[in-house]
Amino acid sequence: MKHILANNFNPENIEKYSDKYHSSVPFPYFVIDNFLNAESANSILDNFELNKNWINYNFINSKKTWGLSDKNCMNENCKEVFEELQSKEFVNLLSKITGIKDIFLDKSLDSGGLTQSFTGGKLSMHTDFIAHATQQRWRRVLNILIYFNKNWLEEYNGQLEFWDENLKQKVDSISPIFNRCLIFKTHKKSYHGYPETIKCPHDMSRKSLSAWYFVEEEKELEQYPTKYKPRPSDSIFYSFLIHSDTFLTKIFFFLKRYKIINNKFASKVLDLFK
């Protein structure tokens, strides 16, 4: 592999990642620091200039956040990183670590790709969509995130928090430092988010690259869109807003499944709320 550091996947490390993945709570995950070679990681930063190609995700549960999923708008190194993430070599490594067979990356990067949140941004606690919006037999099983935040301080917030399945308490959190890769299992109990308001300088943003791995089932799956839930500390009013946004997400997912609307259309609607 040209960009992903192969040294991270020697037999000893594969065993270490596997042990971490299977023993982690509240759900399986593992972390790899210095995931890409330094030159590749730095080149990804060139893709984070906001322009008309970025999709507006800014609403109640995802504040001050934009995403880019069109690979045609990314530089060659970024495209090649996604190619390596979907390569047979890397997928086989993931299968060895997680024990999940026949996985594949969503090449369309639907709701994935590059994401950045600016000061004032946050992402409410949630579980991700399980059934793919348009590929109705695809079941999502793994998330991969790579962070691109140089000189990121804990006081900026933005740590990805993992909570128990009843959303009663935080169990763990991952700091989004530069060139850190996080891989975790996706299911109906994997609550995660960065719910604390980001406080980074205005000339910075919380940057990440993300993609989803699926397995194909024999039958079509029932809809299970992204589900947001409030924390115990959230106010009654904010909890109401979180549930309202979740309801709108269900409607959007339904319309998206039947190709009535898409992410770009939703982005234009959200632009009206700026």
Q: In the Cβ-directed half-sphere of 180, how many Cα atoms lie within 13 Å? A: 17
- Answer whether residue 77 is part of any domain: yes
- Answer whether residue 243 is part of any domain: yes
- Answer whether residue 1 is part of any domain: no
Retrieve residue 115's tokens.
């994401």
Number of structural domains in the chain: 1
Retrieve residue 149's tokens.
């935040």
Domain extent at residue 148: 6-271
The string of pLDDT tens digits covering residues 155-193 is: 999 999 999 999 999 999 999 999 999 999 999 999 999
Task: Report the C-alpha gap between 248 and 267 in whole angstroms.
Answer: 14
| CATH number, residue 100 | 2.60.120.620
The string of pLDDT tens digits covering residues 70-127 is: 999 999 999 999 999 999 999 999 999 999 999 999 999 988 999 999 999 999 999 9
Q: Exposed e or buried b for every residue in 115-142, given b needs 16+ CB within 10 A?
A: bbbbbebbbbbbbbbbbbbebeebbbbb
- Answer whether residue 137 is part of any domain: yes
